[in-house]
Amino acid sequence: MGRILRVDMSRQSIRWEECPSRWAHLGGRGLSAAILSEEVTPTCHPLGRDNKLVLAPGLLAGSSAPTSGRICAGGKSPLTGTIKEANAGGTAAQLLARLGIKAIIFEGEPGQATLHLLHVAREEARLIPAGDYRGLGNYELSARLHREHGPDVAILSIGPAGEMRMSAATIAVTDRDGNPSRHAARGGLGAVMGAKGVKAIVVDAGGASLPRAQDPAAFASEVREFTRVMKEDPRTVNLAKYGTAGVISYVNRPEIASMPTRNHRAGVFARAGEISGQRIAAMAPERNIEMHACMAGCPIRCAIIFRDARRNVVTSALEFETLAMLGSNLEIADLDAIARMDRMCDDIGIDTIEIGNALGVAMDAGVLPFGNAERAEEALRAIGEGTTLGRVLGQGTVVTARVFGVARVPAVKGQGIPAWEPRTLKGIGVTYATSPMGADHTAAMAVMKGLNGESAVAASRDLQVLVALQDTCGLCIFSNAPAEVIARMLNGWMGSTYTGQDVLELGRWVLGQEIAFNRRAGISEAEDRLPSYLYEEALRVPSGNAVFDVRLPRSAEEALGL
Amino acid sequence: MGRILRVDMSRQSIRWEECPSRWAHLGGRGLSAAILSEEVTPTCHPLGRDNKLVLAPGLLAGSSAPTSGRICAGGKSPLTGTIKEANAGGTAAQLLARLGIKAIIFEGEPGQATLHLLHVAREEARLIPAGDYRGLGNYELSARLHREHGPDVAILSIGPAGEMRMSAATIAVTDRDGNPSRHAARGGLGAVMGAKGVKAIVVDAGGASLPRAQDPAAFASEVREFTRVMKEDPRTVNLAKYGTAGVISYVNRPEIASMPTRNHRAGVFARAGEISGQRIAAMAPERNIEMHACMAGCPIRCAIIFRDARRNVVTSALEFETLAMLGSNLEIADLDAIARMDRMCDDIGIDTIEIGNALGVAMDAGVLPFGNAERAEEALRAIGEGTTLGRVLGQGTVVTARVFGVARVPAVKGQGIPAWEPRTLKGIGVTYATSPMGADHTAAMAVMKGLNGESAVAASRDLQVLVALQDTCGLCIFSNAPAEVIARMLNGWMGSTYTGQDVLELGRWVLGQEIAFNRRAGISEAEDRLPSYLYEEALRVPSGNAVFDVRLPRSAEEALGL
């Protein structure tokens, strides 16, 4: 059941393989972890011929399970040196599932600096020279590819950042409007794609039929019930109304203090009201700003289609992380400027979280001023153009800090720290320290207030296991799907007989594979820690000064109960 | 016996301490390893307040033992993240020994970006504001400090590279002519000094008497005999005649192929004859080029004082590594240009080996052309000026490769590979892979031809132990002092009762301390390896194609028999 499409970029050859039975129960992040563990030497250079890039829909992709269309990109990360999984919404996973493809694996490296696109359709897959697309941003590229290959294809692509092998480069995925607004953003997998000489993958599911559930009635009933529960969840309601930006008014409260400000030096941004979800909602009628679902069948519709004063679309998916990391963290409160920067990042194909950190560090070093949107936009243009400064910033937080001699580095395992603040929301600090991905909030959003000590460790652990499972199924973390529901949906879809405990065991197995890869890659337990400023530099909150004070287990394995 | 001078840069306070008895038998590298192991958190940021900078003369410093005046600089390296020891000749160690100082320890960090110099004399040590010296190159700085503090002081200083916290920044030490030509060059300890806000240390031994041997007659007799043996050693004779440059005509032979060419892609440089020691010797009479001893009492006198066509001194200590890494490795065969570049590096305070690698990688990436001395000199000026490109190059090989997206990286544990070629001289490859310092030829010059497999591992191991001992005594590796002679000299000098085996045990202990520090810092066994190009990319030699094919032990501990 299912096929693997293996693309050797050294020989520019393509092979269809039946999915081996040992991988049949895996998809998305879990399948990627299995492939990379079996096939990639953990000490290899991430941009060399021995690394591989895996693109894998989740187990529930192509089904009517809500939010099940996320696609996983996996490989050894040039940013962190760890195994890496970054997933994105958009339409690609659902189309790949219709073609019966469990994973595309890119391997080898082109002898010269050639560029190709991979066209995948029902009858065949082929590599097409793509030298003409060299240097194109994701917006122009996807527009051209849609013109050439039809409006219904899904496109995964890299912008100039991926071509230049920047460690913060993303893989863009087109949304339902055909815009490259969804990104497998973290860890620089776009640079791995660039190193393979692949500019884009065009997925054409024309003529392919929808996959069917093994037990259609049971599956449909599970999906109906779960969709109902999800729609009633107040978290869903809030996301549907304000997008992820809705959280700003909450995290900016003095007692939460999780709105990163001036390179993570404060947790409250005086001008947060100017960039909040509520502010965007208030502007909506006048500017025709709308909420949008990135994939078919998503009942949440959390993406904000942001428009400028002339009602022209600037960007879709204007997210909290972007508003914080390119906004408050740089002391920028100009919503239009942040939206333009978000579009530029999508176009260049670069991670807004990593770049927000890199710019924050550069501002700390005096390379450019805080609070100056024009200068920040100029720096983003420099990234797209590949000036030397642009290439430094495009390599992310740690390299920017190295180049400018900065010792206070907001990063874990080489990856820049997201907006959520570990000194006040301790659970997220545990996630940053112990996730095999480095500082990644989506690995387990343990942001509940009041977690501390053992409860923070336990919450992060349980959530990391659940998220590894959700990522394996291709489910959005905003689905909040619990293990029991996932087990029942999988049983209806695949004919399995999982319990909730069984699927959590699968999540634990995925984490175990990832951490084992990291250990073989040379990532030691000494790196399962946060940077020292989080322990030493107190954040001012009403109850006193907050530092990260959770006693972390000796290793990630211990923290995750592996 | 002996004092420690502890300088807290957070409070700008100085404290004299008696050397604790547990450190009495240590000096130089061994003392530095002990101090760092006891006092520095291995996971700290190298440029943060928790790192320390140790400057320590060797055990035999101040004595008449030939070549015993090398000074050790130690700290956690910003280049490698490992513990680091870099030593240099010059006059500083001998003067510190006359003042009875076993080590200077800089700790803490200045609150603001202040700059100080430390003045050390017989009666007192004091910190003097040094803001006026900001940005000065080592040449102008040492000239001014000599004018202000007298011609007989020794000066340790950093140039702009150290102030800018570049990971390839050196600590310069003045030679007998007062020139800053000797450098504790590798691993970026100049950046640690810069992060402590220290521009220079002025050592004034005026009024201090020479230290005396515990058993003067026995010591004098040992020294006499060892000096005689050393002078008759053909290696010494060759060094005295041609300096380290004398080796070029040997390593450039097709069967040795250890003259790094075009970013380590070839081992034979067609124009090597133009930059060889023999060529320099042939020019000597016309240009008044002379050989020179960097410290009093050295019978080798290996330093070449190079003069231009108008007989003006360009640089002293024009070394093989510099001629290779800034010459053949960049396909530059212009001796005058290389000498100018050497002086620029000394003046900026930056490591010629690391910069030769960084430039080689940048040339590979097309940032500047191979074989163009003018463009290379321009790049060096950019380093001194701190342009963005200069700051990238100044961070060394790995950062330069990251920024320009290069996967073939000639570095081990973050440090650029020296001129000696592991594919043909296998023993040096074992040293690069297993030394706690990363790719460092001086850790054990196991460059004997014909070593292979177990013999290469054994040769590197035995030599690493001996060198750790020599570095602890402050002896130059070119002394070729064997353990038995070192034991007898130490016994005469300190009144100890060592055997040759005892002092080798001391060398092993030093290596053990260093590797244990690295493990706690998170450097894992997976990093005790060479970069993949050395295994995969064959070097053309008459006997076929050579790759590095020694089966390395599982870990550095195993390789070194610890």
A84 found inside a domain: yes
- Cβ–Cβ contacts within 10 Å for residue B22, how many? 9
| CA A137/CA A151 separation, integer angstroms | 18
For residue B291, give the H/E element and its range.
strand B290-292
Work out the pLDDT band at A105, boundaries 50, 70, 90. Answer: very high
Is residue B466 within 8 Å of residue B487, measured between CB atoms?
Answer: no
Q: Which amino acid is at A23?
A: W
Secondary element (H or E) of residue B521: helix B500-521
Quick check: is A191 in a domain?
yes
Q: Which of B478, B411, B418, B468 is nearest to B443 (CA)?
A: B468
Give the pLDDT band (50/70/90) at residue A1.
Answer: low
Structure tokens at B558: 């195993």
**Shortest Cα distance, chain A CAs vs residue B390, angstroms:** 9
pTM over 0.95: yes
Distance CA B322, CA B328 (A): 10
Say how far residue A156 (Cα) sits from the centre of its chain: 14
In a domain, A317, yes or no: no
> Which chain B residues are within 8 Å of A43, Cβ to Cβ?
526, 529
Does residue B420 form part of some domain? no
Contact residues, chain B, for A526 at CB < 8 Å: 42-43, 520-522
A242-285 pLDDT, tens digit per residue, is 999 999 999 999 999 999 999 999 999 999 999 999 999 999 99
CA contacts within 13 A on the Cβ side of B326: 31
pLDDT above 70: residue A401: yes
Contact A524 B529 (CB under 8 A): no
The Cα B460–Cα A267 span in angstroms is 53
Question: Residue A103 carries which side chain, given as an amino acid letter?
Answer: A
The mean pLDDT of chain B is: 97
* The pLDDT value given to residue B83: 98
Q: Is the Cβ–Cβ distance between A477 and A442 less than 8 Å?
A: yes
CA–CA separation, B65 and B493 (whole Å): 9
pLDDT tens digits for range B440-461: 999 999 999 999 999 999 999 9
Considering only CA atoms, which of B322, B399, B324 is closest in space to residue B362?
B399
Indicate the residue of B45, B164, B526 with minimum beta-carbon distance to A522: B526
Residue A344 is assigned to a structural domain of this protein? no
Average pLDDT over residues A199-209: 96
> Which helix H or strand E contains A3, and what residues bound it?
strand A3-8
DSSP class per residue in A492-559: HHH-----HHHHHHHHHHHHHHHHHHHHHHTB-GGGSS--THHHHSPEEETTEEE-------SSHHHH
Question: pLDDT tens for residues A282-318?
Answer: 999 999 999 999 999 899 999 999 999 999 999 998 9
Q: How far is B549 from chain A (nearest CA, A)?
A: 17
For residue range A362-393, list pLDDT tens digits in order.
999 999 999 999 999 999 999 999 999 999 99
Partners of B4 in beta bridges: B17, B103
Summarised one tens digit per residue, pLDDT across range B42-92 is: 999 999 999 999 999 999 999 999 999 999 999 999 999 999 999 999 999
Number of H helices, E strands in chain B: 21, 19
Chain CA centroid to CA A162, Å: 15
The kind and range of the H/E element at B163 are helix B160-163
Q: CB–CB of A68/A51 below 8 Å?
A: no
Q: List residues of chain B with CB under 8 Å from any CB of chain A.
A: 42-48, 50, 78, 164-167, 191, 194-195, 387-389, 391-392, 395, 399, 402-409, 519-527, 529, 531-532
User: CA separation (Å) from A35 to A29, A54, B260?
Assistant: 10, 8, 38
Q: What percent of chain A has pLDDT over 90?
A: 98
What is the spatial distance between Cα A461 and Cα B60, in angstroms, rounded to a whole number? 55
CB B337 within 8 A of CB B373: yes
Q: C-alpha dihedral over B504, B505, B511, B512, to 10 degrees?
A: 170
State the helix-helix crossing angle for A453-473 and A500-521, rounded to 10 degrees. 100
Residue B461, C-beta contacts closer than 8 angstroms, at least 6 positions apart: B430, B434, B444, B559, B560, B561
The verdict on a CB contact (< 8 Å) between A407 and B195 is: yes
By Cβ distance, the residue of A50, A191, A391 closest to B404 is A391
Average pLDDT, chain A: 97
Predicted complex ipTM: 0.95
Instruction: Give whole-number Cα distances, A507 to A39, A485, A496, in Å.
Output: 21, 14, 16
Is the residue at B174 inside a domain?
A: yes
**Vertex A335 angle, CA A330 and A336, to 5°:** 115
Q: Which residue type sits at A142? A: S
* Alpha carbon distance B468, B559 (integer Å): 15
**Would you call B395 and A403 a contact, using CB atoms and an 8 Å cutoff?**
yes
Percent over 90 (pLDDT), chain B: 98
Residue A388 has its nearest CB partner, among B46, B78, B392, at B392
Task: Identify the three-state secondary structure at position B502.
Answer: helix
Per residue, what are the HEC states of A85-107? EEEECCCHHHHHHHCCEEEEEEE
Contacts of B443 (CB under 8 A, 6+ apart): B431, B435, B437, B464, B467
Tell me which chain B residues have a C-beta less than 8 angstroms from the C-beta of A387: 388
Q: Domain holding A58: CATH number?
A: 3.60.9.10
Q: Which residues contact A224 (CB under 8 A, 6 or more apart)?
A: none
Nearest chain B alpha carbon to A395: B403
A220, part of any domain: no
C-alpha closest to that of B139 among B68, B203, B200, B197: B200
CA-CA distance, A7 to A196, in Å (whole number)? 10
**In chain A, whose CA is at the least distance from the CA of B78?**
A402
pLDDT at B123: 85
Residues of chain A neighbouring B438 (CB-CB closer than 8 A): none
* Chain A hits for B401, Cβ within 8 Å: none
Closest-CA residue in chain B for A394? B403
The pair of structure tokens assigned to A276 is: 């909040």
Containing domain of residue B22, as a range?
3-203
Nearest-by-CA chain B residue for A527: B522
Going by pLDDT thresholds of 50, 70 and 90, the confidence category of residue A425 is: very high
Which is it for the CA torsion B22, B27, B29, B35, positive or negative?
A: positive
Which residues in chain A have Cβ-Cβ distances shorter than 8 Å to B532? 44-45, 48, 50
Distance CA A104, CA A15 (A): 10
Q: Do B120 and B95 touch, CB atoms closer than 8 A?
A: no
Distance from CA of B162 to the nearest CA of A (A): 10
Measured CA to CA in angstroms, residue A71 lies from A51, B45, B54, B102 at distances of 19, 37, 52, 61
Determine the pLDDT at residue B1.
62
Measured CA to CA, the distance from residue A426 to residue A203 in angstroms comes to: 41
In the three-class reduction of DSSP (H, G, I as helix; E, B as strand; rest coil), residue B190 is classed as helix
Which residues from A are below 8 Å from B78, CB to CB?
A: 402
Q: Using CA atoms, how far apart are residues A119 and A125, in angstroms rounded to an integer?
A: 5
The encoded tokens of residue A441 equal: 């909030």
Q: Does residue A175 fall inside a structural domain?
A: yes
Ranges of residues in chain B whose predicted pLDDT is under 70: 1
What residues does B118 pair with on adjacent strands?
B127, B201
Which of chain A's residues have a Cβ under 8 Å away from the Cβ of B48?
407-408, 532
> Can you say how many angstroms the Cα of residue B90 is from the centroid of all Cα atoms in its chain?
12
Residue with tokens 């050395």: B534
| Cβ-based interface (< 8 Å): residues of A facing B | 42-48, 50, 78, 164-167, 191, 194-195, 387-389, 391-392, 395, 399, 402-409, 519-527, 529, 531-532
Tens-digit pLDDT profile for residues A3-26: 999 999 999 999 999 999 999 999
Q: CA A428, CA A558: separation in Å to the nearest integer? A: 17
Whether A111 has a pLDDT exceeding 90, the answer reads: no
Structural domain count, chain B: 1
Q: What residues does A311 pair with on adjacent strands?
A: none
User: Most B CBs within 10 Å: which of A388, A399, A412, A520, as the mutation test of the B interface?
Assistant: A388
